[in-house]
Structure formats: structure tokens, C-alpha cells
Structure 1
Amino acid sequence: MESGNCLHTLMGHQSLTSGMELRDNILVSGNADSTVKIWDIKTGQCLQTLQGPSKHQSAVTCLQFSSKFVVTSSDDGTVKLWDLKTGEFVRNLVALESGGSGGVVWRIRASNTKLVCAVGSRNGTEETKLLVLDFDVDLK
């Protein structure tokens, strides 16, 4: 029977952790400080911090990952695709025109070729809706 003992305390985010997803020994965490971190929970090591010139400009609202990619959404109205292994930015999947002035991508769910985004705003600049996007490239 497992003891429930604390194996590791993962430190590194500067604010509220807004989302997490765990698969096997890999944890991806998003934060209100606009960063996303990839952790190995077996060792407690931070493997990658998704940042740089293409990082989100405000709080990460949701995330999801596969064996190759991390998909993140933000208060800045964008959905970004990152390489899981290298931590490199691949491309923007969504960039709302109202992003940065109220438009927010609240939640995302992705399959290998589809992405659904829950979009809205805090100030009425973006109509509340679900965007369903189809991509030719398999995102496995």
C-alpha cells in the first residue's frame, strides 16, 4: 500500500498555478505569471520553461499536452503550440483580434487534428463562443 509521502516540492512559478496536466512522469503546469513549465515528477526536475519572445503576455488559462506538443491558452487571447521535448515555440494556433484588450481564450481541448477553444472576454469585447478548428497536420 502506498504511503502518500511527499516525493518532491516543485518550485519555480512566481504566481498562482492556473492549470496542470499529468501523464506518466511528466507534469506540465501553467501559471498566472505567463509561464509554462515541464517537470519530471520522478526526479522533481524542471525540464523546460516555455518562455522567450513568443511567450504568452499574460496569465496562462489552460493547457494540454501530447507525446510531442504542448498547447497553451491565455488571457492575452492566444493559443500557442510548443515542442514538448525542446520547449521551443512552434506557432500561434489562435490569435484573437481583441486579445490584449479583453479577449480571452478560457479553455482548450485538442485531439490529433482538432482544437476547440472557449472564447470570451471580461469587458464585452469578445462574444462568448466555442471555436472548432481543424488542422491538416496530425498533432500526436
Structure 2
Amino acid sequence: MRIQYQKDITFKATFNKLGYVPGEIIQFILEMENPRRVLIKRIDLSMVQTCEIGRAAYSLPISRTILPKIRNLTDQQIRQKFSIKIPLVPISPSYQFRGEIRKIAVINICYMFQFTVKVEERCICYDVHIPIILGTDPNPDLSQQPTSNSI
């Protein structure tokens, strides 16, 4: 995902994948071009759940991390690799249902990474949203599955 801000800051985040499970490590490379050397105070990475059930909808932050190494920088170019763990908590998986029995039913549970870039001037914030898919459990280890014994 590549975004250009009003102050000529170009932001690019490259993820190793866009499907995860709780407890998994998110790996990505963050690249920024800052030719005007605008002060970048910090960058927050949040994982946000958005849920729509019928006409009701809400957003819920699942986790938030301040990216280390990116605090009060005016570098013209920034390129950093990050590894951040998704919290190992019970979370509903990504899910979408649209059906009709007596009336239309809509259920939509989705997740996104949200980067919030805070820059110098009056704490201007820029949000970048990247949709992801969240599963329920990691791939099972086949060597640890129970075996059946015949009698």
C-alpha cells in the first residue's frame, strides 16, 4: 500500500501476507520518503475489528503498538523492517454473510491494520487502512494430532 501525504511524505508498507491468526507474527517493511524533512513524531499500528450485524455497526481496536525506531525523525528516507505479534486472545474470524429467510440478514466481521502517522504541525494525523483476513487457529501440527488405536 502506497500513500502520499499533503506534506510530500510518501508512505509504503509491504506485508509478507494479509491473512493471519491470533498469536502469529506480522512481518512488514515500512518505507517512507520525506523530502521536506517534516518531523515525524511517531507511527502507531493498530489492528481494528469492524462488525456489522443487521443495521448495527461498530469498530473495536484489538491492539495498538507504537512502532519502535520511528520517533521524532526528520530523515529524508526511512526503511525499517518490523515484526509484531498479534495478541493471542479469542477473536472472531473474518466472516461475511448475506442471506434472506424472511428478511435480508447481513453479518460482516472484518479486520484491518491502521497506521496513524503523527507529524509536526499541530499533531496532524494521517490514517492508512489495510484490510486483512483473520482466521481462528494456526495450522495444526500434524505430528501432535491424536491417533486412533484399533482394538
Q: TM-score range by the shorter chain?
A: under 0.3
TM-score, with length taken from structure 1: 0.26
Structure possessing the higher radius of gyration over alpha carbons: 2
TM-score, with length taken from structure 2: 0.25
Query: Which structure carries more relative contact order (alpha carbon 8 Å, separation 6+)?
Result: 2
Higher strand share: 2
